[in-house]
Homo-oligomer: A and B are copies of this chain.
Amino acid sequence: MTSDPISVLIWNENVDETRKPEVRAVYPDGIHGALAKAFERDGRFAVKTATMDEEECGLSEDALVGCDVLMWWSHHAHEAVPDTIVERVRRHVLDGMGLIVLHSAFMSKIFKALMGTSCELKWRNAGEKERLWVVAPGHPIVEGLGERIELAQEEMYGEPFDVPPPDELVFVSWFQGGEVFRSGCCYRRGRGRVFYFRPGHGTYPTYWNPQVQTTLRNAALWAARRAARIDGPPTRFGQHAPLEPLG
C-alpha cells in the first residue's frame, strides 16, 4: 500500500498491426499503444510498452526487475520468444510480479508454462456479440463494472478451456452463436498473480471499450507485485532447515 505508482509493462508481439490494415485501422499505435492509453492518465500507474522486435524482446532482466505487472498480448509469434526469456518471465512471476495474459496469448509459451496444461479451446471468428457476465461481484477486478460487459462484435472462444481450475473465476462469457467461456480467470503462482482475460481480437475495438479498460486497470491493481521488494530477500525455497530443538 505504498503511494508509489505501480509499474505496468505492456508487451505486444506487434505483428498483426504491421501486416494487416484492418488491425492497424483499429489500433493505429498498435494494440500496446491502445492498452497504454488505459493507464496513462491514471496517477496510480507508471506505464511502459515493449515489443518483440526490441533487444531481448524488450524483456531484459532490468526491465522485469522494475516491473510490478506485465501485460502480454501475442497471436502469431508465440514461438518466436526464446525459451530463456520465457523462463526469465516465469521466474519473475514466481517471485511476485503480476502477469495479465490477454486473448490469443492463451497459446503463449509463458501462459502454457505457468498453467502446465495444453490451454487449448474452441474458437470461431464471426463478429458475434459477446457478453461478459460478472460471476464474482465484490471481487476487486470487477469494481465499478456493474453486472456485465457487452461487446457488439468479438471472436468466440468456447469451452472446454484446458486450464487448471481457476483459483477465482470472475467473468463468464456468453456468445451469440451458442457457446460460453470462462473469460476472467485468476491464479496464484509462487508469490505472483496471473489473470487471464479473454476478449481482444485485433480487428474489433475491444481495448477502447471503457469497461474493458476499467477491468484492465483493476486487474493491474489486483496483480501488482507486493511486499517482496520491501521485505528484503524472500523466504528462500529449497533451503536446508536446521533442526530446531524444542524449548
Contact = CB atoms under 8 A, between A and B. Distances in A.
A138 B226 contact: yes
Interface stretch (A27-35, A68-76, A185-193, A197-205): A185-193
Interface stretch (A16-24, A48-56, A174-182): A174-182
A92 to B, nearest CB: 12
Nearest to A238: B120
A227 interface: yes
A40 B2 CA distance: 19
B188 A240 contact: no
A137 B116 CA distance: 16
Contacts of A137: 160, 190-191, 234-235
A168 to B, nearest CB: 7
Copies in the complex: 4
Contact of A237 (B94, B120, B243): B120
Interface stretch (A7-15, A57-65, A139-147): A139-147
Contact of A159 (B121, B133, B161, B238): B133
A135 B121 contact: no
A231 B94 CA distance: 34
| Chain A contact residues, majority secondary structure | loop
Contacts of A240: 122-124
A116 B113 contact: yes
Contacts of A172: 159, 172, 180, 182
Given A1-B44, A96-B138, A237-B160, A116 B174 contact: no
A117 interface: yes
A50 to B, nearest CB: 23
B237 A121 contact: yes
Given A180-B173, A226-B138, A124 B241 contact: yes
Interface of A: 1, 44, 90, 94, 96, 113-118, 120-124, 126, 128-129, 131, 133-140, 142-144, 146-147, 152, 156, 158-162, 164-165, 167-169, 172-180, 182, 187-193, 221, 226-228, 230-231, 234-235, 237-247
